[in-house]
Amino acid sequence: MKIPVVILIFAVVSVSAFAQQSARNYLSFLPAADCAKLFRQGELHNIGDKPADLPIWKNSPFAADVNALAQGLDVSVAAESLFLIDRPPASDDKKIGLKIFKSFTAFTAMKGLQVFSESLRKMETFIYDSYRVASLHDTRPLPDPVVATVPTEKHYVVYEKEEQTGDMYNDFSFSTKGGWYQVDLVNLTNINFAIFTIVGRKKMHTSFFIVPTRDKIIVYAITMADTMRFLGIEKLKQKSFFNRMTALGSWFSANLARTR
């Protein structure tokens, strides 16, 4: 599909305009106490039963996009995180966009990714293998994507072998927006634990909004899932899904620091 030149120019100008702001100015939608905590600790987190329980996104520039993602979803677990990452030195707006894309599509680098285990109360490996595939019908491993410029939109199917849930496939999409880059993950297969289906197909949505500013990279992440409702198990999974999202955020941050 050919994208009109005027749209591409608008996208580049919009992202560049946001990049001229400082992170503190961009984050003026946060309450003062939350903003101070974010700059002190580098992250903010909230957990709830539904997106409406989460306060950060509601007054943000991407509130309409988050609301659109939530429409039509039956959600029993929701979690959000806001991360503040140092902007890589000597990276102009064009280079930073390419770094962001490469950092989020380094699928093979997820192998060995660790997460905090609520049951063990320590870090453990939760992704044993990860790579891109052509489709659910052609699951031969493919190399990580190689691009010369930031795509306006890209879709991939990604395989993961996780410690607790085994084999699973995700739909991965990357979009260049007016002011940020957006990454969306949707499970294409059931998420199982032992004999139970914890989350059905396409019932877990995780989205990242990545905003380059003059001095920082702002990353907002939200996970919404319709989990099995049995003896309060959805409450037990809140922390698990939250920790998973946080691990992916840390993985992106580490990739961004080393990507050229």
- The answer to whether 110 and 251 have CB atoms below 8 angstroms apart is yes
Residue 15 lies in domain: 5-258
pLDDT at 124: 84
Q: What is the pTM of this model?
A: 0.88
Higher pLDDT: 135 or 95? It is 135
Higher pLDDT: 126 or 7? It is 126
Digit-coded pLDDT (tens) for 204-236: 999 999 999 999 999 999 999 988 765 455 555
Whole-number percent of the chain with pLDDT over 90: 62
Mean pLDDT across the chain, nearest whole number? Answer: 86
Q: At what angle do helices 93-104 and 5-19 cross, to 10 degrees?
A: 100
Q: Residue 120: is its pLDDT beyond 90? A: no
Digit-coded pLDDT (tens) for 124-138: 888 999 999 999 999
Digit-coded pLDDT (tens) for 188-201: 999 887 778 889 99
Contact partners, residue 136, CB within 8 Å, separation at least 6: 157, 169, 188, 189
- The answer to whether 132 and 145 have CB atoms below 8 angstroms apart is yes
Q: Is 18 helix (H, G, I), strand (E, B) or coil?
A: helix
Please report which confidence band the pLDDT of residue 147 belongs to, taking 50, 70 and 90 as the band edges. Answer: very high
- The answer to whether 199 and 191 have CB atoms below 8 angstroms apart is yes
Q: Residue 12: is its pLDDT beyond 80? A: no
- Total structural domains in the chain? 1
Interatomic CA distance for residues 204 and 195, integer angstroms: 19
Range 53-59 average pLDDT: 96
How many Cα atoms occupy the beta-carbon half-sphere of 101 within 13 Å?
A: 23
pLDDT at 260: 74
DSSP at 252: H
Single-letter amino acid, residue 56: I
The H-assigned helical ranges of the chain are: 5-19, 23-26, 32-41, 63-70, 93-104, 233-258
pLDDT at 30: 98
Highest mean pLDDT among 29-33, 94-98, 115-119: 29-33
Please report which confidence band the pLDDT of residue 93 belongs to, taking 50, 70 and 90 as the band edges. Answer: confident
Indicate which CATH number applies to the domain containing 68. Answer: 3.30.530.20
Contact partners, residue 208, CB within 8 Å, separation at least 6: 104, 182, 183, 184, 219, 220, 221, 248, 249, 252
pLDDT at 119: 67
